[in-house]
Structure 1
Amino acid sequence: MNYTPILETDRLIIRPMTLDDVEGHFSMDSQPEVHTYLRAEPLQKIEESKKMIESIQIQYKNFGVGRVAVIEKESGEFIGWTGFKFIEEKEAINNQFGFLDFGYRYKKEAWGKGYATEAAKACMDYYWKEMTHFKLNALTHIENKASRNVLEKIGFEVTETFIFDLWEIDCFWYELKSGIKF
Structure 2
Amino acid sequence: MKIYAETERLILREILPTDVDAMFELDSDPDVHRYLGNNPVDDKDQIYRAIEFIRNQYVKFGIGRWAIVDKQTNQFIGWSGLKYVTDETNGHTNYYDLGYRLIKRYWGNGIATEAALASIEYGFKILGLNEIYAIADQENDGSNRILRKVGFTFIEAFELDGIRLNWYRIQKQL
Range class of TM-score, shorter chain: over 0.9
| Alignment partners' CA distance in 2, 1:125 and 1:177 | 11
**Counterpart for residue 8 of structure 1:** 6
RMSD over aligned Cα, in angstroms?
1.6
SS of alignment partner, residue 51 of structure 2: helix
Task: State the percentage of identical aligned residues.
Answer: 38
**Counterpart for residue 174 of structure 1:** 168
| Alignment partners' CA distance in 1, 2:157 and 2:72 | 39
Deviates more, 1:125-134 or 1:106-115: 125-134
**Counterpart for residue 106 of structure 1:** 102
TM-score by length of 1: 0.89
> How far off its partner does 1:76 sit?
1.4
Q: Which amino acid aligns with 1:54?
A: E
> How far off its partner does 1:127 sit?
1.8
> For residues 138 and 148 of structure 1, do their structure 2 counterparts lie closer, same or farther at Cα, with a shift above 3 Å needed?
same
Larger RCO: 1 or 2 (CA < 8 Å, sep 6+): 1
What is the number of equivalent residue pairs in this alignment? Answer: 173
2:131, 2:171 within 8 Å by CA — same for their partners in 1? no
> How far off its partner does 1:93 sit?
0.9
| Alignment partners' CA distance in 2, 1:116 and 1:35 | 16
> How far off its partner does 1:132 sit?
3.2
**Counterpart for residue 72 of structure 1:** 70
| Alignment partners' CA distance in 1, 2:31 and 2:151 | 26
2:141 matches 1:152: no
| Alignment partners' CA distance in 2, 1:159 and 1:11 | 31
> How far off its partner does 1:178 sit?
6.2
2:28 matches 1:30: yes
SS of alignment partner, residue 98 of structure 2: strand
Per-residue deviation, residues 36-80 of structure 1 (Å, max 9, x unmatched):
111131110011111100000111111111011001112211111
2:130, 2:171 within 8 Å by CA — same for their partners in 1? no
> For residues 86 and 178 of structure 1, do their structure 2 counterparts lie closer, same or farther at Cα, with a shift above 3 Å needed?
closer
Unaligned runs of 5+ in 1: none
1:87, 1:99 within 8 Å by CA — same for their partners in 2? yes
> For residues 133 and 121 of structure 1, do their structure 2 counterparts lie closer, same or farther at Cα, with a shift above 3 Å needed?
closer
Runs of 4+ displaced beyond 2 Å: 131-135, 177-180
Per-residue deviation, residues 131-165 of structure 1 (Å, max 9, x unmatched):
23364110100111110111111110111000123
Unaligned runs of 5+ in 2: none
SS of alignment partner, residue 113 of structure 1: coil
The correspondence for 1:136, drawn from 132, 141, 153, is 132
Per-residue deviation, residues 69-123 of structure 1 (Å, max 9, x unmatched):
00111221111110111111xx211121110011111111110011001111111
SS of alignment partner, residue 31 of structure 2: helix
